[in-house]
Structure 1
Amino acid sequence: MTSLGKLFILLGVLFIIIGIIWSFIGRLPGDITFRTGNTTIFFPIVTSIVVSIILSVLFMLFGRFK
């Protein structure tokens, strides 16, 4: 298998894992939703904070092993 094929498989598995995690943290308490008529506006404030913390920890860990 070529390295490009392995990269696509790795990216596919990564997207599946992200999708599973996102289904659990997609709508946390503290996220703001406005509904007026047939318009919905969603501000994922708490979800953004959680994702930011997780990414910061991951980048910090990967930076130490570099």
Structure 2
Amino acid sequence: MSRLLITFGIILIAVGLLWPFIQKLGLGRLPGDLAFGGENFRVYIPITTSILISLALTFILWLINR
């Protein structure tokens, strides 16, 4: 369990450090990502981005388990 948590933490740190580069690729502003709000608030629901990240992680983990 501790190895899993450490691995997850390292992945989160890597994503955090790479986030400026990820935004340049357009992730977070894809068609299907919902963003709406009023004058004093904003709601953002990244549906398409979440699906793409899920597919990529599923593929990577599938490759690792083979």
**Shorter-chain-normalised TM-score: which range?**
0.5 to 0.7
Q: Which residue of 2 aligns with 1:32?
A: 34
CA distance in 1, matches of 2:28, 2:46: 8
User: Taking structure 2 as the reference length, what is the TM-score of the superposition?
Assistant: 0.65
Tell me if 1:46 matches 2:48.
Answer: yes
Give how far 1:34 is off. 1.2
- Counterparts of 1:1-66 in structure 2, within 5 Å, are 11=10, 15=14, 16=17, 18-19=18-19, 20=21, 22-23=22-23, 24=25, 25-64=27-66
Which of the two has higher C-alpha Rg?
1
SS in 2 for 1:62: helix
Q: Report the AA paired with residue 29 of structure 1.
A: P
Gaps of 5+ in 2: 1-9
4+ residue runs of structure 1 moved beyond 6 angstroms?
none
How many residue pairs match? The answer is 50
Aligned-partner Cα distance in 2 for 1:36–1:26: 20
1:63 offset after TM fit, Å?
A: 0.4
Percent identity, aligned pairs only, is 34
Give the letter for the 2:57 counterpart.
L
